[in-house]
Chain A
């Protein structure tokens, strides 16, 4: 079945891809020269980047754990990127083998790679889709038959929304996914912010991403909190990545080195 959302989209390996850069930050080799070149530039401008990525991954891991504990068995991970090492399905399925995960990304290479990785896993699938086209995306998800719309589903928007500009009206898009979800569903967000760092740094970072397949829009805590409209934020609300339900023994003194907001909300 062809996917109309990305038919004809260029697979341009000469342009850096956000998902392959992410893979590189995490020490993966699923990337190409242009991805690495730009990732290195980003790191030289902000040496903490790999740490931030790790903090994000750690939040993701804790969040998925939390969600499985709340009884969620369906995950829709949008902007999943290259499934480098371990992934949401591994985290979730280790805990609940009946967990079902659908990965969605716009990068056709990431999707193709995910499909290869997920071969033989009946509970997980990848498809190409665009977060900004909820109707089409959700139709595809439903056609896949892996997620049951009448059951609670966690929509994971990890490190995605800072690539969605205001013009795309992210709040409205989120509402579309919320309306699609059954009561008891969750929304999980992590989002880069400029609030903890000097402007030059975030601006430089934004500038850097201008040539990548996606560009950046940093947002403040309030703005991120507004994305949870229609959801009830679980404790501790919108918090710094590292401070969101940290492991009991985790060091928290460095939490502000990781400039991202995180939160999980429940649809009543």
Chain B
């Protein structure tokens, strides 16, 4: 076998077992293998060593597969028949052995090297991943730590594992603090039940996240409001592993929202809930009540507050309201009633629930009693205000907020009617006969045009002679369904809007007309402060006098003392001056109820003075004045006399009272004891003859006294 053939044989063996991409130069390698083979077979050669070399050459050229060894041994075996020599045959066997050993050892070496390489590669890859991970983790950590929201990680046992800087700042706890804490420790008393049930669901794996607004108590005890969002992280098997909380601090926003909400639902003056909040609570109380639940509304209206306001100014008035609010809030603490301020001096209390141990009437009496104690008002002497309370109580089921309020209003009105300082429970039967303030306000416009107004006249009687001194025009509203309504029910409301002006003008005109056709010496009309501010008022008076053709001195304008005391503005004072300039006489009404500024008596050209009926209220039950009161009143009357003012006593209902007002020197008396108000169209106005001493009569039945008759010419 020639070297050329051997070489070709090697080459075909190589092609059979080599990698086509690497061993592309098979011919060259085959030639080398043939040369090594031949050289190894020379007599002096070390055949085994040559065999090893062949094996190594093959392995190094990447003929590593077992098949390659087989192919190589076959090449050598195929060469053998041509050798024909025992010695050389032995050489050949040695060479085959060497080849196998050499190949195996080279493959082994290669294998070790490659295994080492792939392991190195895999660990390099792992390192790279680890480095990338740790870089990524560092990045995340930085991000998490610098995030403006609080982030915390906890296990499902409730232990806090990590918390970022924002959360530490937000709650005031350090990471060490928090790592020692359990999530349950962040319970806030205001947490709803759902807070912790959602939490329990999350750690149990029943839900994957929840969001809510939640408050936390900071380490310093302050409250932090947050938007909390908690997510569950599961392990690869889906079992709950960690929880991640993202916590956004919304304290500022919340405080603002709370303040706005508070402002929208609270009265800025007293801090009490306002009408909005009260009605909301009332609506809620009747919206979805339990079977035995009841609801009660106590409508509280101060008695004589307008007087305080008018006589002592709005600043004091406001302070009184603040004091009243505090008093009511304090007094309602035990019953748990919600106290709200509806408007002006109107307050309201709401009770709801079983109401077994807080009877509304009892609560109302408690509130009333609390208000009877003098109020401490900053910078002022203690102030005493009374109140009237209307109470309505009914089962919550089927109740309607608007109807409840209307009923409470009616009850309040009944309380006022009954003489103030009282609690009156709503009587559904009374309802038909009464009007609510709301209804009144709705019906005021057009009152004059509809012709529903009427005047009645009550004489003022000279106590010495029994002659009629004058008559006071008293306004009545002949309501189409409610019958005759007294001014108490609507004048105050009319004063709150411009409705008083047309009413006042009508009163003036009608009184003058009636004066013209009657035999009265004079007529008194009441004028409100709004009228004094009206630019047309003097003209109106002048025109009315002209039309009726009556002497100006027969018209007497009554102005409440409290109004007068507050007349700091020059305009209304000038108006009063103009009136007296016309010859109209000025009467100060309700004198003595306020802190009468005696100086004001001199500032304006008064002609007469009417002592407030309130002085007689304390004597209504038949008691005499106590000596001190009596002396003070006598002094007042003296004082009035000393500046030539005539003094009238109002509200005289009994013979005892008649005696009393005489005893302090009053000149004129007015009241049921002498005569009831009557319309001018009636055939007569009756006046009782002054009798001394009157017989003792029980209660208030003054009209049983003998009457004189005044004929009205018409």
Contacts and interface: CB of A to CB of B under 8 A. Distances in A.
B115 A29 contact: yes
Nearest to B112: A29
Contacts of A32: 118
A116 B133 contact: no
B611 to A, nearest CB: 97
Contacts of B23: 86
Interface stretch (B14-22, B312-320, B426-434, B537-545): B14-22
Nearest to A85: B22
B287 interface: no
Interface residues of B, number: 28
A2 B136 contact: yes
B114 interface: yes
Contacts, number: 91
Question: Per DSSP, are chain B's interface residues mostly helix, strand or loop, or mixed?
Answer: helix
A112 interface: yes
B125 interface: yes
A76 interface: no
Interface in A60-99: 60-61, 82, 84-87, 90-91
A30 B114 contact: yes
A111 B126 CA distance: 11
Contact of B125 (A29, A30, A57, A108): A108
Q: Size band of the A side of the interface? A: 35 or more
Contacts of B62: 27, 85-86
Nearest to B24: A61
A91 B129 contact: no
A257 interface: no
Contacts of B117: 30, 113, 116
Given A61-B24, A85-B21, A31 B118 contact: yes
A252 interface: no
Interface in A1-30: 2-3, 6-9, 11, 13, 20, 26-30
Contacts of B22: 85-86, 90
Nearest to A113: B121
Contacts of B19: 26-27, 54, 57, 84-86
A112 B115 contact: no
B132 A112 contact: no
A54 B20 CA distance: 6
Given A8-B132, A29-B115, A29-B118, A61 B125 contact: no
Given A2-B135, A57-B20, A112-B124, A28 B129 contact: no
A109 B128 CA distance: 10
A6 B129 contact: yes
A2 B115 CA distance: 26
Interface of B: 19-24, 62, 64-65, 110-111, 114-115, 117-118, 120-122, 124-126, 128-129, 131-133, 135-136
14 contacts: A2-B135, A8-B133, A8-B136, A11-B122, A27-B19, A27-B65, A29-B110, A60-B21, A61-B24, A84-B19, A108-B125, A109-B121, A113-B120, A115-B124
Given A29-B110, A57-B19, A112-B120, 20 more contacts: A2-B131, A3-B132, A7-B132, A8-B129, A9-B129, A11-B122, A13-B122, A27-B19, A30-B115, A54-B19, A58-B20, A84-B19, A85-B19, A85-B62, A86-B24, A91-B21, A111-B125, A112-B122, A113-B120, A115-B124
Please give me the 10 A-B residue pairs with the lowest Cβ-Cβ distance, nearest first: A86-B22, A113-B121, A29-B114, A108-B125, A58-B20, A85-B22, A112-B125, A2-B132, A112-B124, A30-B118
